[in-house]
Amino acid sequence: MLADSPAEEDSALLLALAQAQDALARLEASAAAASAPVREGLGVRLAFREAAGWLAHQGHWIHPVDLALRDAGLTGSYAAAQLRRRLPSVLPATIGDTEQLHQLPEDQEVALALAIARLWRRLGESQTWRPLQDADSLAATLTPLGEGRGPAQLAERLAQLRPPGRLPALITAGLLARDWEQQARADRLSLPAIFLAACIWQAQGGTALPVWSAPVQRLHRLALQPRQGWLPLFLEAVAEAAMRGRQELARLQRAEAKAAAITHTARSHLPGAAALALRRPVVTPRLIASTLGVTHRAALGLTRQLESGGIIRETTGRSAWRAFAVA
């Protein structure tokens, strides 16, 4: 976004801020009004969408469901599967979603993506976790994300970048993300910087700030944008990521409505199985059996009911050790 005058720059920034705040408010209000299974399931799925978005920004598109399968220990190394020519067994949703994989992420990148998912989920769920409360906490959190500075250096850097005056939380978050990594790669956004922005938003009473799940083209433009004009693009990315979050929420609520329409007896475990499928990004009959305290055979029956009702779908393509996700 380019402006011909300071007034135009201010107008562009205010418009982007209003749109981002509106999108986040709609997402958070809609989530707060949803049922507990949907609200919990939304947070988990948005975390995996953030992880998948970060991977896409690195040049690797991996479906969020496949990351959830990997996190649950239901699939293994992508590199090993590629050597054995068994990629569809570990990337079923990704292979089905695209004609070909241009480049697979290394195992270290996948591990980092899963760490991102856990951090964003924790930001959304924890009421007491405050990574910014002191330099030691911040260093412990950022080190796995590639931050090399120690507690003392981080504290000094934060003090240097603290914006003057009382600014909206999103502006403060964007300014810190923009200026945090002075020597970041010119074509990549800084992971620690974006996480810091999310921490600032959470500290002001928000949930886990969605950024990486914005369209990858938007993230690339943001990474290449010079300092002037960066902040409006950041806010536009947040707005688009929040809009995608509302779409995910609507999908879960449609599945919940389908489950509620299935006729069942008063003693049926079907509502509990449906709630579990909403809460978890992937479920297995074994998980249903252990969570609900039913036999494996009964769990298989519940899975068939949910699948025939269009609430869940099988995700692995396997005949054994199958896993399911909300359709």
For residues 57, 61, 66 and 67, what is the CA-based torsion angle, rounded to 10 degrees?
Answer: -20
Count H helices and E strands in the chain, helices first.
16, 2
> Average per-residue pLDDT in the chain?
90
- Say if CB 247 and CB 160 are below 8 A apart: no
| pTM, 2 dp | 0.92
**pLDDT tens profile 269-282:** 999 999 999 999 99
For residue 86, which phi and psi values (nearest 5 degrees)?
A: -130, 35
Tokens encoding 213: 């799940």
**pLDDT tens profile 45-103:** 999 999 999 999 999 999 999 999 999 999 999 999 999 989 999 999 998 765 556 68
Tokens encoding 116: 């991102």
Residue type, 230: W
Per-residue pLDDT of the chain (327 residues; tens, 9 = 90+): 344 445 656 888 999 999 999 999 999 999 999 999 999 999 999 999 999 999 999 999 999 999 999 999 999 999 999 999 899 999 999 987 655 566 899 999 999 999 999 999 999 998 888 888 888 988 998 988 988 888 988 888 888 887 767 889 999 999 999 988 765 667 889 999 999 999 999 988 888 899 999 999 999 999 999 888 899 999 999 999 999 999 999 999 999 999 999 988 878 999 999 999 999 999 999 999 999 999 999 999 999 999 999 999 999 988 888 999 999
